[in-house]
Structure 1
Amino acid sequence: MSSEDAALEALVVLGEPVRRGLYRYVAGTPGDVGRDAAAEAVGISRSLAAFHLDKLVEAGLLEVDFRRLSGRSGPGAGRPAKMYRRARNEVAVSVPPRAYDAAGHLLAEVVERAGLDGELQAAARAAGEAEGGTVDGEAEPFEVLRARGYEPFWDGRTLRLNNCPFHALAEQFPALVCGMNLAGIEGLLAGLTCGQDWKASMDPLPQGCCVSLEVADATDAAAEEL
C-alpha cells in the first residue's frame, strides 16, 4: 500500500464520530491511556471503546503498550492492561499530492546555513502578534493554542504542549525551529488581549513541544516594567 493510500485509509477511519472522539482524547492526553479512561471520556462502554481503539491501532493512528497498572509482577499480579498512545508517525494527505514538507526542509536548511535565525524569529514573532490580534478578545491562550494544533494541558501551574505542529522539521533543525516556535508563541501572546498575563519559555517535553507557558506573577510584571 502506498503512503498516500495509507493516509486516505486513516482519514476514513477517523470519519466515524466515536473513533474521532477517542483519537482526540488519546492524542491530547499526556502519557498512555487505558480502555476504561477512554470509554468514560467519550461516554461509551469499555467493550465498544476497545473495538474502536484497536481499529485506530490497525490504521496506524495509535500505538499500543502493555503494563500492569498495579505495579506488581509475578503470579497473582493480574494480566497487563492494554494502553494506548498517539502513534509517532504523522499522517498527512493532500489531493492532488503536494510536497510542502520537502520545500520546508529545503527552506530550513538554507536559513540555518545562512545564519538567519534572528531574522526568522523576528518574522515569527511579528506573524504571531498579527495573528493574536485577530483572535476574539475573550479567548484564553489554552483555546487559541489548541486551535493551532498544540494540544495544551495543565501540569500544575504550567501549561505544556503535548504536540509540536512543526515536529518533522524540529527533529532535523531543533535549534532553528524551536527558536522560531518560541518567538511565534511570544508574538501570539503579545497580540492577545490577555497575553500580557502570560510568559512563554523554552522547556522541552521528552515527547511534545519545546515551549511551555505560565501565568506571569507580580514579580515578573514589575521586572518587565523596569
Structure 2
Amino acid sequence: MEDINAIAALQDSVRRALYEYVAARGREVGRNEAAEAVGVTRTLAAHHLDKLTEVGLLESGSRRLTGRSGPGAGRPAKVYTLARAERSVSLPARDYRTLAELLAEAAEQAGLDTRLFAAARHRGEAERGAQAPPEGLEEVMEMLAARGYAPHLENVADGGGGADRAHAAGPADPAGPVDPTRPVDPARPARPTDPARSEAPDGRAGAGVAGDAAGTDGAEGADGVGRIAPRVVRMRNCPFHVVAERFPPLVCGMNFALLQGLLGSGPVTARMDARPGECCVVLEDSKNNTD
C-alpha cells in the first residue's frame, strides 16, 4: 500500500509539478526556488514538499544555501532531493522484476550476452522504424525523456572530455567500461551505483554538471581558446536500474546496444562512460566533437 499512497500523492497538480521540478534538477532544491519555479507561494510549496517527503517520494535535509559558514552565514534552509527508492504499482499484482532478474541470470550463465546485445540493437532499430536518425542532441533528448532516461546536457570543457570526465566521474570504476562485443565475465565486480557518491561538495549531483536537468542551462561555454565547448548528453536515470545493479555488464551492454539501434547511423553516437548514480551511456554529436 505504501507505493499506492505515494503515487496517489501526485494527484494534486501543484504537488506533481513540484515533484517533477525537484526530480529534474538532480540536486538539492530549496523551498524558495521550488515555489518560484512552479508559480506558488513559499508556504504552499513547503506544505506540498513536506507531503512528498512524508510519502517517500522526496528526501529532505538542511543546508546553508549561501555557501558560507560561521557567524553571519544565516540559518540552514530546508532542501529536497529525489528519493532513491523506486515506486511502482500494478493492479492486479505482477512481478516483472523477478522475471527480468531470472532471465538476466540465465543469459549470463549461458553466455548469451552477444545474442542479447544483438537483439537489443535490433529492437532499437525496429522502434525507430522508418524515422531518420536523430540529427542533434536536442532531438535525442526528447527521445530519451520519453523513455524515462532523464537526460541533461553537460559541457565537456576540454574538447576531448578526458580531464573533465575523469573529474566528474570520480574514482575509477573497478569493473571498467562495458564492451557489448565482449562476453560477460560472471566474476566481474559490480559497478558502484550509490547516487550519494556522485554528489559534489555543494550538494549538486555530480561535479562538472553544467546545467539543470532540463538540459539547457549553461549548455554552451568557451573552452579557453575561443571555441565553443562541446556538449554531451548524460542521463540521470537508468530505466533498468534494479536489474543493472545485479548484472551490470550484461544490462549496461544491452542498454548501450539498444541506444545504438535507436540512434542509427546519424551524427549522434553513444559511448560507455560510467558515473555512479547515472546511466552508464553518454551520447555526443560527432559533428561538434571534431577539431
TM-score range, shorter chain: 0.7 to 0.9
**Offset, 1:209:** 1.0
Matched, 1:8 2:19: no
- Secondary structure in structure 1 of the residue aligned to 2:282: strand
Match of 2:129 in 1: 133
Report the more deviating stretch, 200-209 or 147-156. Answer: 200-209
Q: What's the CA shift string for 1:117-141, capped at 9, x where partnerless? A: 1111111111011112266988911
- Secondary structure in structure 1 of the residue aligned to 2:244: helix
Q: What's the CA shift string for 1:183-206, capped at 9, x where partnerless? A: 11111011xxxx602011112232
2-structure distance, mates of 1:161, 1:151:
5
> CA, structure 1 residues 219+101, in 2 after alignment: closer, same or farther (shift >3 Å)?
closer
Match of 2:144 in 1: 145
Alignment of structure 1 residues 199-214 onto 2, 5 Å: 199-214=269-284
Q: Which runs of 5+ in 2 are unaligned?
A: 156-230
Aligned residue among 191, 195, 198 for 2:268 = 198
Match of 2:243 in 1: 169
Aligned residue among 171, 179, 186 for 2:260 = 186
- Secondary structure in structure 1 of the residue aligned to 2:238: coil
Matched, 1:94 2:90: yes
One-letter amino acid of the counterpart of residue 73, structure 2: A
Aligned residue among 27, 30, 42 for 2:23 = 27
One-letter amino acid of the counterpart of residue 200, structure 1: A
2-structure distance, mates of 1:153, 1:98:
32
Match of 1:73 in 2: 69
Report the more deviating stretch, 138-147 or 197-206. Answer: 138-147
2-structure distance, mates of 1:131, 1:125:
10
Question: TM-score scaled by structure 1?
Answer: 0.88
Report the more deviating stretch, 137-146 or 32-41. Answer: 137-146
User: What fraction of aligned residue pairs are identical, expressed as a percent?
Assistant: 54
Does the Cα contact within 8 Å between 1:185 and 1:200 map onto a contact in 2? yes
Alignment of structure 1 residues 35-50 onto 2, 5 Å: 35-50=31-46
Report the more deviating stretch, 145-154 or 18-27. Answer: 18-27
Question: TM-score scaled by structure 2?
Answer: 0.69
Q: What's the CA shift string for 1:21-53, capped at 9, x where partnerless? A: 111111121222222222222121222111111
Q: Which has the higher contact order (CA 8 A, sep 6+)?
A: 2
> CA, structure 1 residues 123+65, in 2 after alignment: closer, same or farther (shift >3 Å)?
same
Matched, 1:18 2:92: no
2-structure distance, mates of 1:146, 1:39:
24
Does the Cα contact within 8 Å between 2:133 and 2:266 map onto a contact in 1? no
**Which of the pair is proportionally richer in helix?**
1
Match of 1:55 in 2: 51
> CA, structure 1 residues 34+135, in 2 after alignment: closer, same or farther (shift >3 Å)?
farther
**Length, aligned pairs only:** 212
Compute the RMSD of aligned alpha carbons.
Answer: 1.9
1-structure distance, mates of 2:22, 2:12:
16
- Secondary structure in structure 2 of the residue aligned to 1:123: helix
**Offset, 1:158:** 1.1
